[in-house]
């Protein structure tokens, strides 16, 4: 059974969705990307077996979670996730993050590796923004603050989906489109600054000893194949998979293929 819950972490109300397990071997925590919320992980929570507990949560400011102050950073998001793990007394945790969620997963591990046994990094990398990327983020903040959210959303969404998704899966397109439009303006702007200011985690990758699955939508134009392969090659114990018929969000665009790879990766943590 999947249940919606809220809890307080450091004075903030955090919304999460949990697929509980009475005999969990591992807890899989799903971390959404920018500017979405926990609902992008519905297809994953639903298929988890009895011995896997699943948790999808809203990052501060997104979905139903409170924002507190607006001085967001990837480091702050990672501190929140570490506190979530501690508050729920979770052991044997696998973090699964897509895009911004991948940055948060890496930084969370870097801050504290206790209780984290594996990573699934989707359509993400360990690099800091280039100057060009920073300027694009600043330009999007200008759009939002000058009342042009529609133009921002249209420009953002045109690069998210694979051709197949855009042409044949209107429900998914509508779901993601609604998430972008419903995300608060200040959250979008604060998160863009967080993304622009994130540190380069490349030097940390060689210190990661736990198993890592690197996944990428084969048609993702936002996260080039070269960056995913760089991430894979710099990790000590990783495997890389390209998900066909998917762009930047393979977990919603091709959930069947995504879930097969996810469960294959999780099998190493499950008891017989």
| 3-state DSSP percent of the chain in helix, strand and coil, to 5 | 45, 20, 35
- Cβ atoms of residues 126 and 205 within 8 Å: yes
CATH architecture observed for domain 2-127+200-269: 3-Layer(aba) Sandwich (3.40)
> Which pLDDT belongs to residue 256?
98
Residue 22's pLDDT band, with cuts at 50, 70 and 90, is: confident
pLDDT 10s digits, 42-53: 999 999 999 999
Residue 23's pLDDT band, with cuts at 50, 70 and 90, is: confident
Partnered with residue 118 across adjacent β-strands are: 94
The conformation of residue 169, written as its DSSP 8-state character, comes to -
Average pLDDT over residues 89-102: 97
Q: Share the mean pLDDT of the chain.
A: 96
Residue 271's pLDDT band, with cuts at 50, 70 and 90, is: confident
Residue 10's pLDDT band, with cuts at 50, 70 and 90, is: confident
Residue 103's pLDDT band, with cuts at 50, 70 and 90, is: very high
> Which pLDDT belongs to residue 242?
97
Rounded to an integer, what distance in angstroms lies between the CA atom of residue 187 and that of residue 182?
10
99: left (phi over 0), alpha (psi -120 to 50) or beta: left
For residue 272, is pLDDT > 90? no
How many C-beta atoms surround the C-beta of residue 265 within 10 A? 21
Domain extents for the chain?
A: 2-127+200-269
Take residue 233 and report the two structure tokens written for it.
Answer: 């090659």
> Which pLDDT belongs to residue 149?
95
- Find all residues with CB under 8 Å of 150, minimum gap 6, and list them: none
> Which pLDDT belongs to residue 1?
87
Three-state DSSP at 76 gives: helix
Residue 39's pLDDT band, with cuts at 50, 70 and 90, is: very high
Rounded to an integer, what distance in angstroms lies between the CA atom of residue 126 and that of residue 228?
9
How many C-beta atoms surround the C-beta of residue 111 within 10 A? 13
pLDDT 10s digits, 187-211: 999 999 999 999 999 999 999 999 9
Radius of gyration of the chain (CA): 17
> Which pLDDT belongs to residue 114?
86
> Which pLDDT belongs to residue 88?
95
Rounded to an integer, what distance in angstroms lies between the CA atom of residue 205 and that of residue 126?
8
């Amino acid at each position: 059974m999947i249940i919606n819950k809220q809890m307080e972490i450091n004075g903030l109300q955090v919304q999460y969705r949990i697929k509980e397990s009475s005999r969990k071997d591992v807890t899989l925590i799903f971390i959404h990307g920018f500017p979405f919320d926990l609902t992008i992980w519905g297809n994953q929570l639903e298929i988890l077996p009895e011995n896997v507990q699943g948790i999808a949560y809203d990052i501060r400011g997104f979905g139903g979670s409170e924002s507190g102050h607006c001085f967001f950073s990837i480091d702050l998001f990672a501190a929140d996730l570490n506190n979530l793990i501690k508050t729920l007394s979770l052991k044997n945790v696998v973090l699964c993050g897509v895009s911004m969620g991948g940055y948060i997963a890496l930084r969370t591990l870097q801050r504290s590796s206790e209780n984290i046994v594996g990573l699934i990094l989707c359509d993400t990398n360990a690099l800091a923004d280039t100057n060009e990327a920073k300027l694009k983020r600043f330009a999007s903040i200008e759009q939002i603050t000058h009342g042009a959210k529609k133009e921002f959303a249209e420009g953002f969404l045109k690069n998210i989906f694979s051709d197949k998704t855009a042409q044949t899966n209107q429900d998914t397109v509508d779901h993601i489109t609604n998430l972008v439009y419903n995300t608060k303006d200040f959250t979008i702007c604060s998160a863009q600054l967080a993304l622009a200011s994130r540190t380069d985690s490349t030097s940390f990758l060689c210190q990661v000893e736990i198993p890592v699955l690197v996944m990428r939508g084969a048609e993702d134009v936002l996260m080039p194949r070269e960056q995913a392969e760089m991430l894979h090659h710099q990790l000590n114990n990783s495997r890389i998979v390209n998900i066909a018929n998917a762009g930047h969000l393979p977990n919603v665009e091709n959930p069947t293929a995504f879930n097969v790879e996810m469960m294959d990766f999780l099998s190493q943590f499950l008891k017989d």
